């Protein structure tokens, strides 16, 4: 009788242990992470701060998903989206010293055009004048919409617009309008200073007013 009761207790203990082991295995299998899919989109690959739904062929004004999300997005994201929409328009435009159109444009003219169309803010035409706009900003405190200046070899300084995540929009003399990394060895070497014309919340307000007008 005692042996039978001990056997039952032993069998019950083994059964409970097996059930616990099966539950543990099932839990591990259910929590396994799926490998991330390859991003087909340039912005998804290089600008992780942008929404997953971002379509490089659709501006924030045309994209109803972004319009809805923009109601809750911080100003820096709204400004970044607007700047990337400008990048779509100008991407690949060849560099031309003194140029101001899609046939050819130089760095300061691109900055002037983008600020005028996106923020309704008129900046001077030349890099030498733009570098005196707004307030000086330390590189480690850059925010979306800040102007970034460089002093590469040659007679001319260079200017671009910081779009976030370490990238800036500019008219490259070799490749035309493009996005480049501030941490690129070349741009690191020739970095000069940054200027903030307006705070991101003010730029975001101007983006909204430009869309309404």
Which one from 72, 107, 132, 190 is the annotated catalytic residue? Answer: 107
Residue 158 designated active-site: yes
Which one from 28, 132, 158, 190 is the annotated catalytic residue? Answer: 158
At a CB cut-off of 8 Å and minimum separation 6, what does 38 contact? none
Q: Residue 28 and residue 191: Cα distance in Å, rounded?
A: 50
Which one from 72, 132, 170, 190 is the annotated catalytic residue? Answer: 170
Q: How many CB atoms lie within 10 A of CB 145?
A: 30
DSSP codes joined into one string, the chain: -HHHHHHHHHHHHHHHHHHHHHHHHHHHHHTPPPPPPPP-SHHHHH-TTS-TT--TTS-TTT-HHHHHHHTTS-HHHHHHHHHHHHHHHHTTPPB-TT-EETTEE-HHHHHHHHHHHHH--PPPSSHHHHTTSSEEE-GGG--TT-EEEE--SSS--EEEEEEETTEEEEEETTTEEEEEETTSHHHHHHEEEEEESS-HHHHHHHHHHHHH-
Residue 72 designated active-site: no
Residue 132 designated active-site: no
* Residues classed as catalytic: 107, 158, 170
């Amino acid at each position: 009788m005692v042996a039978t009761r001990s056997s039952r207790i032993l069998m019950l203990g083994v059964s409970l242990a097996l059930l616990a082991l099966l539950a543990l295995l099932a839990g591990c299998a259910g929590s396994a992470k799926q490998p991330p899919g390859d991003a087909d989109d340039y912005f998804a690959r290089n600008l992780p701060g942008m929404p997953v739904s971002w379509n490089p062929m659709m501006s924030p004004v045309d994209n109803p998903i972004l319009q809805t999300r923009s109601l809750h997005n911080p100003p820096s994201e709204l400004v970044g989206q607007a700047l990337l929409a400008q990048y779509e328009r100008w991407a690949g435009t060849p560099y031309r010293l003194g140029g101001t159109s899609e046939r050819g444009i130089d760095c300061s003219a691109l900055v002037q055009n983008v600020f005028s169309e996106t923020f309704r803010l008129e900046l001077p035409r030349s890099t030498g004048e733009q570098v005196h706009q707004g307030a000086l900003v330390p590189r480690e405190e850059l925010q979306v919409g800040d102007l970034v200046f460089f002093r590469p070899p040659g007679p001319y300084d260079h200017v671009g617009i910081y779009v976030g995540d370490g990238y800036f929009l500019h008219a490259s003399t070799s490749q035309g309008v493009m996005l480049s990394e501030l941490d690129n060895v070349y741009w690191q070497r020739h970095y000069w200073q940054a200027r903030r014309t307006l705070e991101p919340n003010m730029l975001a307000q101007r983006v909204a007013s430009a869309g309404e007008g």
